[in-house]
C-alpha cells in the first residue's frame, strides 16, 4: 500500500512542508529509515537524525524549528507521537479489512451467529450459541467456548482461548496465547489437610477498547464477573484473579499479579512485577512503581507508592537512601564506641 504525503496529512489534519506528492509504503525509525518509508520525530534527543535520515516523509511537532535544510517532506501535527499511533492504527485496519471468510479446517457450531465481514482462520473452534459481531478477526487456533458474546471490531490473535459465558466488548484486541475465563484459584481447606475445589461459575467481562497482551490470564469469577473496564491496557504475562475489577483507562505492565476480589480504580498505572494482595481497593489515579508489593488498600486518589510492602513514594525513597547509608553509619558507630572506650580507660585510672 502506498500513500502520498498529501493523503497522510489529510488523514491526520496536518500541514505538508515539502513535496506533497512523495509516496511512502512502509514505516521506519528515523535513525534507520530508508527512501520510501515514513518516520516520526517527537523526542528532541533524536533531532540530529532529522538531517541525516533517508526517510521520505517525517511526522514532526508543529513547533519544531529547523536548523538547516532537509531533504525529506515534513508533515507538521500538534503531537507527532499521537499522530504516528493513529497512522499505524489506520494502516493495521486497512491490512486486516482484507481478511474475510472461514478457512478450513475450522469448527463453527450451527447454533452460533457470525456478523458481517468476519474472518475465521484455520484450526479455530467456535462453540454453541456464540454470538460474534461485525468485522471480527479470529486468527489461527482461536478457541471460543459456548455462549460467548464478542462485539464488533474485535481482533483475537493466534491461540487466544475464551472460555464459556465470557463477554468481549467492541474494539478489543487480545494477543497470542492469552486465556480469558479459566477457573479462579478457589479451594476450601478440609479437616484432613486436603483441599476441595470450589466451582467457579461466574464469567469474565472485557469492556470496549481494551487491549490485552500475549500470554496473560484473566480468571473467571467464583460468582458474578471478573471485569476489565473500558479503555484498560494490559501488558504481556499478567495474572488477573477471580472477581477482580480493573478500572477505566488503567494500564498494567508485564508480570503483574492481582489477587482475587481486589478492585482497581480508574486511570491507575501499575509498573512491572507488582504484586497486589486480595480483597484490596486501589483508588483512582494511583501510580505503583515496578516490583512493589501492595498489602493494604490505597484510599487516597492520585497517590504514588513504591517498595515492598509499598509506602508513599517520597517516604520510601528517603528510607532507601537511609538504608544505603547504613554501612557508613555502622563504621561511625564503631569508631564512636572505640573512642568512648578510650576515654573511659583514661578517666578511670585518674579517678583512682
pLDDT at 345: 84
The helix/strand/coil state of 88 is: helix
| Residue 324, Cβ density class (10 Å: 0-12 exposed, 13-18 middle, ≥19 buried) | exposed
| Same domain as 216, residue 343 | no
pLDDT at 350: 55
| Same domain as 177, residue 73 | no
Q: Cβ distance 133 to 112 under 8 Å?
A: no
In a domain, 179, yes or no: yes
pLDDT at 318: 75
| Same domain as 64, residue 196 | no
Q: What is the DSSP string of 132-166?
A: E-TT-EE-TT-EE-TT-EE-TT-EE-TT-EE-TT-
In a domain, 114, yes or no: no
pLDDT at 329: 86
In a domain, 136, yes or no: no
| Same domain as 294, residue 238 | yes
The helix/strand/coil state of 46 is: helix
| Same domain as 282, residue 326 | no
How far apart CA 306 and CA 320 sit, in angstroms, is 11
| Cis amide linkage into residue 105, ω under 30° from 0 | yes
Length of the chain equals 352
- Residues annotated as catalytic (active site), given as ranges: 242
In a domain, 155, yes or no: no
| Same domain as 300, residue 165 | yes
Question: Backbone phi, then psi, for 333, in 5-degree steps?
Answer: -65, -45
Q: Cβ distance 244 to 257 under 8 Å?
A: no
| Same domain as 21, residue 44 | yes
Predicted TM-score (pTM) of this structure: 0.82
> Could you tell me which residues come within 8 angstroms of residue 157 by beta carbon, excluding any fewer than 6 positions away?
139, 173, 174, 175, 176, 214
In a domain, 21, yes or no: yes
Among candidates 246, 242, 212, which has minimal Cα distance to 229? 246
In a domain, 116, yes or no: no
How far apart CA 160 and CA 170 sit, in angstroms, is 17
Q: What is the CATH number of the domain that holds 25?
A: 3.40.1390.10
- Angle at which helix 326-351 crosses helix 313-324, to 10 degrees, equals 50
| Same domain as 286, residue 181 | yes
Question: Backbone phi, then psi, for 327, in 5-degree steps?
Answer: -60, -40
| Same domain as 330, residue 243 | no
Among candidates 293, 303, 210, 301, which has minimal Cα distance to 250? 210
| Same domain as 305, residue 164 | yes
* Residue range of the domain that includes 87: 3-97
Q: What is the CATH number of the domain that holds 200?
A: 2.160.10.10
Q: How many domains does the chain have?
A: 3
Domain end position, chosen among 97, 115, 143? 97
pLDDT at 317: 73
Q: What is the DSSP string of 67-85?
A: SS--SSEEEEES-HHHHHH
pLDDT by residue for the chain (352 residues), tens digit each? 789 999 999 999 999 999 999 999 999 999 999 999 999 999 999 999 999 999 999 999 999 999 999 999 999 999 999 999 999 888 888 877 788 999 999 999 999 999 999 999 999 999 999 999 999 999 999 999 999 999 999 999 999 999 999 999 999 999 999 999 999 999 999 999 999 999 999 999 999 999 999 999 999 999 999 999 999 999 999 999 999 999 999 999 999 999 999 999 999 999 999 999 999 999 999 999 999 999 999 999 999 999 888 878 777 777 777 778 888 888 889 989 988 988 888 876 655 4
Identify the residue whose cell numbers are 505503583.
Answer: 288
| Same domain as 341, residue 258 | no
Q: C-alpha 240: how far from its chain's center?
A: 13
| Same domain as 347, residue 272 | no
Q: What is the DSSP string of 187-227?
A: EEE-TTS-EEEPP---EEEE-TT-EE-TT-EEEPPSSSEEE
Identify the residue whose cell numbers are 491507575.
Answer: 268
Domain end position, chosen among 65, 81, 97? 97
In a domain, 142, yes or no: no
Q: Residue 316 — left, alpha, or beta (φ > 0 → left; ψ -120 to 50 → alpha)?
A: alpha
How far apart CA 235 and CA 213 sit, in angstroms, is 5
In a domain, 135, yes or no: no
Q: Can you state the percent helix, strand and coil of the chain, rounding each to 5?
A: 20, 30, 50
Domain end position, chosen among 69, 97, 125? 97
Amino acid at each position: 500500500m502506498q500513500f502520498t504525503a498529501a493523503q497522510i496529512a489529510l488523514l491526520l489534519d496536518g500541514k505538508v512542508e515539502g513535496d506533497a506528492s512523495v509516496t511512502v509504503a512502509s514505516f521506519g525509525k528515523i535513525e534507520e529509515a530508508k527512501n520510501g518509508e515514513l518516520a516520526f520525530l517527537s523526542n528532541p534527543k533524536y533531532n540530529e537524525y532529522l538531517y541525516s535520515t533517508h526517510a521520505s516523509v517525517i511526522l514532526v511537532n508543529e513547533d519544531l524549528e529547523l536548523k538547516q535544510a532537509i531533504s525529506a517532506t515534513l508533515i507538521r501535527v500538534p503531537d507527532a507521537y499521537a499522530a504516528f499511533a493513529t497512522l499505524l492504527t489506520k494502516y493495521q485496519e486497512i491490512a486486516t479489512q482484507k481478511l474475510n471468510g472461514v478457512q478450513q479446517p475450522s469448527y463453527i457450531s450451527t447454533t452460533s451467529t457470525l456478523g458481517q465481514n468476519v474472518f475465521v482462520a484455520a484450526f479455530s473452534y467456535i462453540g454453541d450459541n456464540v454470538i460474534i459481531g461485525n468485522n471480527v478477526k479470529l486468527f489461527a487456533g482461536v478457541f471460543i467456548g459456548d455462549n460467548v458474546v464478542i462485539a464488533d471490531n474485535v481482533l483475537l490473535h493466534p491461540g487466544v482461548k475464551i472460555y464459556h459465558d465470557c463477554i468481549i466488548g467492541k474494539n478489543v484486541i487480545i494477543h497470542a496465547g492469552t486465556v480469558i475465563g479459566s477457573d479462579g484459584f478457589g479451594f476450601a481447606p478440609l479437616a484432613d489437610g486436603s483441599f476441595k475445589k470450589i466451582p467457579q461459575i461466574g464469567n469474565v467481562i472485557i469492556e470496549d477498547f481494551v487491549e490485552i497482551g500475549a500470554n496473560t490470564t484473566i480468571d473467571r469469577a467464583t460468582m458474578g464477573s471478573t471485569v476489565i473496564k473500558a479503555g484498560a491496557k494490559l501488558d504481556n504475562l499478567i495474572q488477573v484473579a477471580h472477581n477482580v475489577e480493573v478500572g477505566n483507562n488503567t494500564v498494567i505492565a508485564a508480570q503483574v499479579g492481582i489477587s482475587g476480589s481486589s478492585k482497581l480504580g480508574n486511570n491507575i498505572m501499575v509498573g512491572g512485577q507488582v504484586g497486589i494482595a486480595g480483597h484490596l481497593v486501589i483508588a483512582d489515579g494511583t501510580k505503583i512503581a515496578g516490583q512493589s508489593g501492595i498489602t493494604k488498600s490505597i484510599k487516597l486518589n492520585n497517590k504514588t507508592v513504591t517498595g515492598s510492602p509499598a509506602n508513599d513514594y517520597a517516604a520510601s525513597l528517603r528510607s532507601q537512601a537511609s538504608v544505603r547509608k547504613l554501612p557508613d553509619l555502622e563504621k561511625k558507630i564503631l569508631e564512636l564506641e572505640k573512642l568512648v572506650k578510650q576515654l573511659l580507660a583514661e578517666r578511670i585510672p585518674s579517678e583512682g
